[in-house]
């Protein structure tokens, strides 16, 4: 389910909690809304609000940290691709065919990374190396160095290609939203209770209804932000694939 859909559902649940509070205010006898009941309910809602605020803050920090980590990994992947191409260029004209395969492999890797993180069925599929990537590795290992310099360059290129493969696997294993669905359901439930408490002891005046709507939208925006940051290769906040795709100029 997309972050937008989940956020709309969360917004609806929060509004439903607000409406429940308003209905209870109209249905309950006046003595049930006395000062003692008001104090108890507000204290309980304050406790839940504190817990929800702490949890939401931790979720945002965790999602932002995960997002930044994957941004760094994409940058590392791009830098290693550029370094690998430079090593092959220094190797000599014998590596021209391998460099061409590298360009095909980069496009294939970018397609796979951004595709597998935008499709639910693809995220469930096991990892598979691209055909272009496998062909590049085979041709790289088949290079025949003619001296110590070329031998050193080939060894360095193989090491960099190993680093690229490692980074690629890290990106694959970190795919998917880091927030478990039961956790999200409980958080939405807490926020709905808080808004029910807001409307339970306040008359349904236009200013109150408008303020509660803005507050509900703000809480939903925080949930949406967490969900979006948890999917860095799709959605509105996705990492751009342009730097990786344009890292290597045509030979």
Query: What are 60-78's pLDDT values in tens digits?
Result: 888 888 889 899 999 999 9
pLDDT tens across 118-141, in order?
A: 555 445 566 667 788 888 888 888
pLDDT digits (tens, 9 = 90+) for 4-47: 888 899 999 999 988 888 887 777 666 566 666 777 777 888 88
Six-digit token string for 201: 């002891």
Give the whole-angstrom CA distance, residue 220 versus residue 235: 16
pLDDT at 91: 86
Q: Looking at residues 102-110, what average pLDDT do you find?
A: 89
Residue that wins the pLDDT comparison between 238 and 160: 160
User: Residue 127 has which token pair?
Assistant: 């990892």
The four Cα atoms 30, 36, 37, 41 give a dihedral, to 10 degrees, of: 140
Using CB atoms within 10 A of its CB, is residue 93 exposed (0-12), middle (13-18) or buried (19+)? exposed
Mean pLDDT of 187-208: 84
């Amino acid at each position: 389910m997309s972050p937008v859909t989940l956020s709309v559902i969360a917004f609806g649940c929060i509004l439903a909690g607000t409406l429940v509070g308003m209905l209870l205010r109209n249905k309950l006898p006046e003595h049930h809304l006395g000062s003692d009941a008001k104090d108890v309910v507000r204290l309980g809602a304050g406790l839940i609000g504190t817990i929800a605020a702490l949890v939401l803050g931790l979720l945002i920090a965790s999602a932002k940290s995960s997002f930044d980590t994957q941004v760094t990994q994409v940058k590392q992947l791009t830098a290693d691709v550029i370094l690998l191409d430079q090593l092959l260029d220094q190797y000599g004209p014998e590596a021209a065919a391998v460099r061409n395969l590298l360009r095909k492999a980069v496009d294939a890797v970018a397609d796979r990374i951004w595709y597998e993180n935008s499709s639910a069925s693809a995220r469930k599929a096991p990892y598979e190396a691209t055909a272009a990537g496998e062909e590049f590795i085979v041709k790289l290992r088949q290079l025949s160095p003619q001296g110590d310099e070329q031998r050193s360059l080939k060894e360095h290129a193989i090491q960099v290609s190993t680093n690229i493969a490692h980074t690629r696997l890290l990106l694959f294993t970190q795919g998917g939203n880091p927030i478990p669905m039961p956790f999200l359901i409980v958080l939405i439930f807490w926020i709905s209770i808080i808004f029910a408490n807001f409307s339970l002891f306040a008359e349904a005046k236009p200013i109150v209804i408008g303020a509660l709507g803005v507050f509900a939208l703000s809480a939903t925006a925080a949930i949406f932000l967490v969900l979006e940051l948890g999917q860095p290769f799709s959605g509105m906040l996705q990492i751009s694939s342009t730097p990786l795709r344009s890292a290597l100029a045509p030979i």
